[in-house]
Amino acid sequence: MSSTLSQPLFDPIYISQDVQNQLKQGFIVRPLEPSDYEKERYAYLKAHNHEYFTIVIEDTQKQLIVGAGTILVERKFVHLNGLVGHIEDIVTRSDYRGLNLGKL
């Protein structure tokens, strides 16, 4: 992977195989990639990949992003600058709702 814009947002090793195993065949869960959305937004998130971990679920047969979510990691002064994570922006494409993809 020669350029930053050809790499996933973060190392996929951070996504547990247990999560992948919960998906039905034909779906994968993976980090956001530059081809998934506007390159400028990806470049910002990549530059801050110690804070933002955007994960997508792809229907591999249709090569279509059908779900997404973000884990935001921040330092908290009140927790002695410890790290705190927030799950945000969970969304599932309307025609894929009912498959429990957002519960992963």
Strands 82-92 and 27-31: unpaired
Considering the domain boundaries, does residue 22 fall inside one?
yes
Considering the domain boundaries, does residue 85 fall inside one?
yes
**pTM of the model as a whole:** 0.73
Considering the domain boundaries, does residue 79 fall inside one?
yes
Q: What is the CATH number of the domain that holds 78?
A: 3.40.630.30
- Looking at residue 59, its amino acid is D
Q: Give how many domains the chain has, as a whole number.
A: 1
| Residues 25-68: tens digit of each pLDDT | 999 999 988 888 766 778 888 888 788 899 999 999 999 999 99
- Pick from 74, 24, 32: nearest CA to 55: 32
